[in-house]
Structure 1
Amino acid sequence: MVIATAPALIYGAECWSVAALRTRAQHRADFLTAQGLRAGQVVLAPDAPAFDLILLQHALATLGAALLPYRANATPAQIAQLVATTGAEWRWFPESNQLVETGCNTVLATKTALALLINTSGSSGTPKVVMLTRDNLLASAQAANARLGLQAGDCWLACLRLCHIGGISISYRTALAGATLLLHDGFDAAKVLADLQRQPVTHLSVVPPMLARLLDLDPMPPPALRVLLVGGQAISPALLQRALVAGWPVYLSYGMTETASQIAVRNPPRPPFSKGGSKKSPPLEKGGWGDLSTGLKLSAGVEVQAPDCIAPAQRLRIRGAMVMAGYATPQRQPGIGLVNGWFETADLGCLNAEGQLHLHGRADDVCVIGGNNVSLARVETVINAAPGVAEAVIVVLDDSIWGHQLIAVYRGESDAAAVQRWCQTQLSGAEQPRQVLRMRRLPLLASGKYDRQRLTAIVHRLLRDLTRRS
Structure 2
Amino acid sequence: MKLFPTHIRLNGRLTAVTDLLQRQVAVQPDWEKQWLNFLQEWYNQNKYIEVNTSGSTGTPKTIKLNKDFVAASAQRTIQYFNLKKGDCILHCLPTKYVAGKLMVVRALLGELDLHLVDPTTDFQFLRQKHFKFTAMVPTQVHKVLESGIWNLESLLIGGSAVPQPLVNELQSVPTQCYSSYAMTETATHIALRKLNGKNQDQFYHCLDHIKVQLSLDNCLEIFMPGLKQQPLKTNDLAELADEKTFRVLGRADNVIISGGIKFSPEQLERKLEPFISCAFSISSLPHETLGQQLILIVEGEEDEKRIRQIQTICSQQLSKYEQPKQIRFIKIFPRTENGKVMRKAL
Which TM-score applies when normalising by structure 2?
A: 0.84
Rounded Cα–Cα distance in structure 1 between residues aligned with 2:312 and 2:79: 46
Q: CA deviation at 1:205?
A: 1.6
Residue 205, structure 1, aligned to residue 138, structure 2 = no
Residue 121, structure 1, aligned to residue 9, structure 2 = no
Rounded Cα–Cα distance in structure 2 between residues aligned with 1:271 and 1:424: 34
Rounded Cα–Cα distance in structure 1 between residues aligned with 2:297 and 2:79: 40
Aligned counterpart, 2:315: 424
Q: CA deviation at 1:442?
A: 4.3
Q: Deviations over 1:434-461 (max 9, x none)?
A: 333567764431122123355x2xxxxx
Q: Deviations over 1:91-148 (max 9, x none)?
A: xxxxxxxxxxxxxxxxxxxxxx22x111211102122222101111111000111112
Map residues 50-69 of structure 1 onto 2, 5 A cutoff.
50-65=31-46
Aligned counterpart, 1:449: 340
User: Which residue, out of 150, 160, 177, partners 1:222?
Assistant: 150
Q: Which has the larger radius of gyration?
A: 1
In the superposition, relative to structure 1, how do residues 9 and 401 fare at CA in structure 2: closer, same or farther (>3 Å)?
farther
Question: Aligned with 2:340: secondary structure?
Answer: coil
Rounded Cα–Cα distance in structure 1 between residues aligned with 2:153 and 2:217: 33
Structure 1 counterpart of 2:211, one-letter code? E
Residue 394, structure 1, aligned to residue 282, structure 2 = yes
Runs in 1 of length 4+ with deviation above 6 angstroms? 4-7, 411-414
RMSD: 3.3
User: Which residue, out of 112, 123, 126, partners 1:196?
Assistant: 126
Q: CA deviation at 1:375?
A: 1.1
Q: Deviations over 1:155-187 (max 9, x none)?
A: 33222222221222111112211122222333x
In the superposition, relative to structure 1, how do residues 213 and 53 fare at CA in structure 2: closer, same or farther (>3 Å)?
closer
In the superposition, relative to structure 1, how do residues 267 and 376 fare at CA in structure 2: closer, same or farther (>3 Å)?
same
Q: CA deviation at 1:403?
A: 2.1
Rounded Cα–Cα distance in structure 2 between residues aligned with 1:208 and 1:140: 22
Q: Contact 1:416 / 1:438 at 8 angstroms: preserved in 2?
A: no
Question: Aligned with 2:190: secondary structure?
Answer: strand
Map residues 68-107 of structure 1 onto 2, 5 A cutoff.
none
Question: Aligned with 1:415: secondary structure?
Answer: helix
Q: Contact 1:313 / 1:360 at 8 angstroms: preserved in 2?
A: no
Q: Contact 2:213 / 2:220 at 8 angstroms: preserved in 1?
A: yes
In the superposition, relative to structure 1, how do residues 416 and 205 fare at CA in structure 2: closer, same or farther (>3 Å)?
farther
Structure 2 counterpart of 1:27, one-letter code? Q
Residue 9, structure 1, aligned to residue 10, structure 2 = yes
In structure 2, the gaps of 5 or more residues are none
In the superposition, relative to structure 1, how do residues 441 and 200 fare at CA in structure 2: closer, same or farther (>3 Å)?
farther
Matched residues, percent identical? Answer: 28
Question: Aligned with 1:145: secondary structure?
Answer: helix
Rounded Cα–Cα distance in structure 1 between residues aligned with 2:343 and 2:275: 21
In the superposition, relative to structure 1, how do residues 450 and 158 fare at CA in structure 2: closer, same or farther (>3 Å)?
farther
Name the structure with the higher strand share. Answer: 2
Q: CA deviation at 1:271?
A: 8.5
Rounded Cα–Cα distance in structure 2 between residues aligned with 1:425 and 1:367: 21
Q: Deviations over 1:180-230 (max 9, x none)?
A: 2222333x2xx2421222322232222234434543x23x3513x111111
User: Which residue, out of 249, 263, 266, partners 1:377?
Assistant: 266
Question: Aligned with 1:430: secondary structure?
Answer: helix
Q: Contact 1:411 / 1:438 at 8 angstroms: preserved in 2?
A: yes
In the superposition, relative to structure 1, how do residues 432 and 410 fare at CA in structure 2: closer, same or farther (>3 Å)?
farther
Aligned counterpart, 1:261: 188
Aligned counterpart, 2:249: 360
Question: Aligned with 1:352: secondary structure?
Answer: strand
Q: Contact 2:212 / 2:223 at 8 angstroms: preserved in 1?
A: yes
The number of residues matched between the two structures is 339
Structure 2 counterpart of 1:9, one-letter code? L
Rounded Cα–Cα distance in structure 1 between residues aligned with 2:195 and 2:6: 36
Structure 2 counterpart of 1:23, one-letter code? T
Q: Deviations over 1:316-346 (max 9, x none)?
A: 22232353x5xxxxxxxxxxxx3xx321111
In structure 1, the gaps of 5 or more residues are 32-44, 66-112, 273-288, 326-337, 457-470
Rounded Cα–Cα distance in structure 2 between residues aligned with 1:364 and 1:192: 35
Q: Deviations over 1:28-78 (max 9, x none)?
A: 6xx9xxxxxxxxxxxxx9x9623233233333333323xxxxxxxxxxxxx
User: Which residue, out of 296, 300, 320, partners 1:407?
Assistant: 296
User: Which residue, out of 89, 95, 100, partners 1:156?
Assistant: 89
Q: Deviations over 1:241-272 (max 9, x none)?
A: 11123444211111100100010012234399
Rounded Cα–Cα distance in structure 2 between residues aligned with 1:404 and 1:245: 41
Q: Deviations over 1:355-410 (max 9, x none)?
A: 322322222231111222111011111221115x1443223333334222322314
Which TM-score applies when normalising by structure 1?
A: 0.64
Rounded Cα–Cα distance in structure 2 between residues aligned with 1:436 and 1:245: 33
Residue 176, structure 1, aligned to residue 109, structure 2 = yes
Aligned counterpart, 1:166: 99
